[in-house]
């Protein structure tokens, strides 16, 4: 049962950072389609990570009471972080908004909160990623704070941490183990289930809210991008022995295929002419573009993540 729930949670994920970047680089993040898609993807990922926290507690617990205790502690932890720690961090956000930079002492506080949150959730029987995720939700929401933190951490994360993570994922991927007919059938089944669930499900939901068929299928294609999110998710499942190495390898292939197809499906459903009609008027976005420190937009590449 835990295995089935885990597979469902993994296939439900969307690579929110990739989705947001694609919409931003196409100028659609402030359009009705873009806003609705971003909200749906964020709620999707939040639900999936909360679900994984519960599943991890149930899997790691020595019994129902132990799992219930971990879940209750996680709920208390989330409440303290979102309503207590978040309030304490607001002055840092306000200060960064004024200075447009993050000092070393402020960076130390942020790192302490994130690492402490990860340590606590690991101690109560829920994977440490959940603690980091909740810590991120508790951080100040100011754009200036986000950009300053991004500037401080992105080089280290991109140059050091991400290559290690991808190398680790590659070492755990054994393609030879899925060469048999049974495993290939399992791969095809999961690929079809993951694709149909996102593409058809999201497409029909968008159509039901009044969007055109082209717009609806475009969103369905984008929501199929699972990217880094599913890799983190399934690495946790492998480390906790919820899934086997062969299943891990299958899910890696599913992630690669569905993510690679996201932008082509979007372009097929929404040609440039139709896409141009969705872009908000310049007067609606001029203020946000003026404040954006990243400068002029460039068109996205298919490999954005």
Distance from the first to the final alpha carbon of the chain: 32
What's the CA gap between 2 and 4, in Å, rounded? Answer: 6
- For residue 129, what pLDDT is reported? 81
What's the CA gap between 270 and 227, in Å, rounded? Answer: 21
Q: Which two tokens stand for residue 68?
A: 């219930």
- For residue 65, what pLDDT is reported? 78
Residues of the chain under the 70 pLDDT cut: 61-63, 177, 280-305
CA distances from 121 to 81, 89, 135, 234 (A): 12, 20, 11, 18
What's the CA gap between 20 and 262, in Å, rounded? Answer: 13
Do the Cβ atoms of 16 and 45 come closer than 8 Å? yes
Q: What is the DSSP letter of 177?
A: G
Q: What angle do CA 14, 20, 22 make, to 5 degrees?
A: 100
- For residue 140, what pLDDT is reported? 92
Query: What is the Cβ-side half-sphere exposure of residue 5, based on CA atoms within 13 angstroms?
Result: 14
Do the Cβ atoms of 142 and 96 come closer than 8 Å? yes
Task: Pick left, alpha or beta for residue 140 (phi over 0 → left; psi -120 to 50 → alpha; otherwise beta).
Answer: beta
Instruction: Count how many residues are written for the chain.
Output: 305
Q: Which two tokens stand for residue 140?
A: 């100040």
Neighbours of 190 (CB within 10 A): 18
- For residue 296, what pLDDT is reported? 40
**Is the pTM for the entire model greater than 0.85?**
no
- For residue 63, what pLDDT is reported? 67
- For residue 19, what pLDDT is reported? 87
Helix, strand, coil percentages for the chain (3-state, nearest 5): 80, 0, 20
- For residue 280, what pLDDT is reported? 65
- For residue 45, what pLDDT is reported? 84
Quickly name the fold that domain 2-286 has: Na+/H+ antiporter like fold (1.20.1530)
């Amino acid at each position: 049962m835990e295995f089935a729930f885990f597979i469902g949670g993994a296939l439900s994920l969307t690579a929110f950072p990739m989705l947001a970047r694609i919409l931003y680089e196409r100028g659609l993040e402030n359009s009705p389609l873009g806003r609705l898609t971003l909200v749906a993807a964020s709620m999707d990922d939040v639900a999936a990570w909360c679900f994984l926290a519960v599943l991890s507690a149930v899997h790691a617990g020595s019994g129902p009471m132990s799992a219930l205790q971990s879940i209750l502690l996680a709920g208390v932890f989330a409440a303290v972080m979102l309503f207590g720690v978040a309030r304490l961090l607001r002055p840092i956000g306000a200060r960064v908004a004024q200075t447009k930079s993050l000092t070393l002492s402020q960076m130390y506080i942020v790192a302490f909160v994130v690492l402490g949150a990860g340590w606590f959730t690991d101690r109560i029987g829920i994977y440490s990623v959940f603690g980091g995720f909740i810590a991120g939700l508790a951080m100040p929401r100011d754009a200036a704070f986000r950009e300053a933190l991004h500037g401080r951490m992105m080089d280290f994360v991109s140059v050091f941490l991400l290559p290690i993570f991808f190398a680790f994922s590659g070492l755990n991927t054994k393609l030879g183990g899925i060469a048999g007919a049974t495993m290939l059938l399992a791969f095809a089944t999961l690929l079809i289930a993951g694709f149909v669930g996102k593409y058809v499900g999201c497409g029909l939901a968008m159509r039901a809210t009044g969007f055109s068929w082209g717009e609806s299928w475009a969103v369905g294609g984008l929501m199929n991008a699972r990217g880094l999110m599913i890799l983190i998710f399934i690495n946790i499942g492998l480390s906790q022995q919820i899934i086997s190495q062969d299943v891990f390898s299958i899910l890696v292939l599913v992630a690669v295929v569905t993510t690679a197809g996201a932008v082509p499906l979007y372009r097929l459903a929404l040609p440039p002419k139709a896409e141009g009609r969705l872009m908000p008027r310049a007067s609606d976005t001029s203020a946000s573009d003026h404040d954006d420190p990243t400068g002029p937009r460039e068109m996205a590449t298919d490999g954005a993540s």
